[in-house]
């Protein structure tokens, strides 16, 4: 079976030479033991967390961490029939075996018309991140103004649309004019390209002269330091990600955000989506319903071929993706 291995820990921005494509032998299911299922990856996810987590959770030579939508191709476990689709945490593997733990069957109600890859994006972990981050961390209320960065990505695009469903005004920013046009198309009230504005401060002020009640931060760093000054009193900041810092070899020494935190009595809370694992079904059901009703639109950036996993991962970190970055095997 083909697998992608972390050959060398990333230094700064990941390079294709940091990865190695290998072939490994899989045990035969007929030999018994705990391995009851043989799966083939159909869609694999490339996500920002792989960059910081590779250092924390992996050694050089380990198979890259990650999730996929996979098809069961052999089964000795009655809970999983051959042909069924699951979301698995199998890592960057084209084929793999499983004991069935940690596999999540796609709901039987999954509509034929919907790509199964959405289970890795809008109706999966990134969608849930938007859902719980907005509801539980931002605690958005109708009539409020919500700011989100990396807004045309997997999480950000759902954040903006859920905030609209929740009756908020939504401001988003992204790194290309094409992405900005997409944000306007899917209902963002204001959107701008953070790479081409002359002043981020002015662009944020123009988009919402009264400031922001909620800030869903996917980026961190300089952007967050500027945005925090434009929060309204009692505003809430959901610290979801810090993608502008993941590839730094030397930690950034940005401005310190404490002053507005005090005088505006802000609340800033970091979170990881798995905190709400016990409410996963609720979140997925709501997201699936909104997608089916057309209230949440989705876009996927699909790279073809398992051999292109590193390129897809690096491309996503560079911002080449509009919507969720996916690899189709």
Single out the segment in contact with ligand NDP by CB under 6 A; choices: 25-33, 90-98, 112-120, 315-323.
315-323
Dig out the tokens for 128 from the structure.
């849930």
Single out the segment in contact with ligand NDP by CB under 6 A; choices: 78-86, 248-256, 285-293, 314-322.
314-322
Q: Which is nearer to ligand NDP, 3 or 227 (CB)?
A: 227
Establish if 49 lies at the interface with ligand NDP (CB under 6 A).
yes
Q: Tell the smallest beta-carbon distance from residue 42 to ligand NDP (Å).
A: 19
Determine whether 178 is exposed, middle or buried from the number of CB atoms within 10 Å of its CB (0-12, 13-18, 19+): exposed
Beta-bridge partners for 231: 212
Q: Which is nearer to ligand NDP, 75 or 124 (CB)?
A: 124
Among 26, 82, 259, 272, binds ligand NDP (CB under 6 A): 272
Q: Which is nearer to ligand NDP, 80 or 300 (CB)?
A: 300
Q: Confirm if 142 and 165 have CB atoms less than 8 A apart.
A: no
Among 41, 67, 75, 129, binds ligand NDP (CB under 6 A): 129
Q: Tell the smallest beta-carbon distance from residue 220 to ligand NDP (Å).
A: 8
Single out the segment in contact with ligand NDP by CB under 6 A; choices: 150-158, 204-212, 248-256, 303-311.
150-158
Establish if 175 lies at the interface with ligand NDP (CB under 6 A).
yes
Q: Tell the smallest beta-carbon distance from residue 83 to ligand NDP (Å).
A: 29
Dig out the tokens for 219 from the structure.
């980026």
Among 153, 160, 166, 235, binds ligand NDP (CB under 6 A): 153
Among 172, 241, 283, 310, binds ligand NDP (CB under 6 A): 241
Q: Which is nearer to ligand NDP, 3 or 219 (CB)?
A: 219
Q: Confirm if 171 and 147 have CB atoms less than 8 A apart.
A: yes
Among 48, 160, 166, 310, binds ligand NDP (CB under 6 A): 48
Establish if 271 lies at the interface with ligand NDP (CB under 6 A).
yes
Establish if 123 lies at the interface with ligand NDP (CB under 6 A).
no
Q: Which residues bind ligand NDP (CB under 6 A)?
A: 47-49, 126, 129, 150, 152-156, 174-176, 179, 218-219, 240-244, 271-273, 316-317, 319, 321, 324-325
């Amino acid at each position: 079976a083909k697998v992608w291995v972390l050959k060398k820990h990333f230094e700064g921005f990941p390079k294709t030479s940091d990865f190695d494509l290998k072939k490994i032998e899989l045990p035969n299911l007929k030999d018994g033991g705990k391995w009851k299922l043989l799966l083939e990856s159909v869609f694999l996810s490339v996500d920002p967390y792989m960059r910081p987590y590779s250092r924390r959770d992996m050694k050089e030579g380990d198979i890259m961490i990650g999730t996929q939508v996979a098809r069961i191709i052999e089964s000795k476990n009655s809970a999983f029939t051959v042909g069924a689709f699951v979301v698995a945490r199998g890592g960057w593997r084209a084929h793999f075996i499983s004991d069935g733990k940690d596999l999540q069957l796609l709901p039987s109600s999954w509509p034929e018309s919907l790509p199964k890859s959405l289970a890795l994006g809008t109706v999966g972990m990134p969608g849930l991140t938007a859902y719980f981050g907005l509801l539980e961390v931002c605690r958005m209320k109708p009539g409020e103004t919500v700011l989100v960065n990396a807004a045309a990505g997997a999480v950000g695009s759902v954040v903006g649309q859920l905030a609209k469903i929740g009756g908020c005004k939504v401001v988003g920013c992204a790194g290309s004019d094409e992405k900005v046009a997409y944000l306007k198309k899917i209902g963002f009230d204001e959107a701008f390209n953070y790479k081409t504005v002359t002043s981020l401060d002015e662009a944020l002020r123009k988009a919402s002269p009264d400031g922001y009640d909620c800030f869903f931060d996917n980026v961190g760093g300089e952007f967050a330091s500027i945005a925090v000054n434009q929060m309204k009193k009692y505003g809430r900041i959901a610290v979801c990600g810090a993608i502008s810092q993941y590839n730094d070899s030397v930690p950034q020494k940005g401005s310190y955000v404490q002053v507005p935190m005090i005088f505006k009595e802000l609340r800033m809370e970091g979170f990881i989506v798995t905190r709400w694992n016990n409410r996963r079904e609720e979140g997925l059901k709501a997201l699936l319903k909104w997608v089916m009703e057309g209230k949440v639109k989705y876009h996927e950036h699909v790279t073809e071929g398992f051999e292109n996993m590193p390129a897809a991962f690096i491309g996503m970190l560079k911002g080449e993706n509009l919507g969720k970055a996916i690899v189709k095997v």
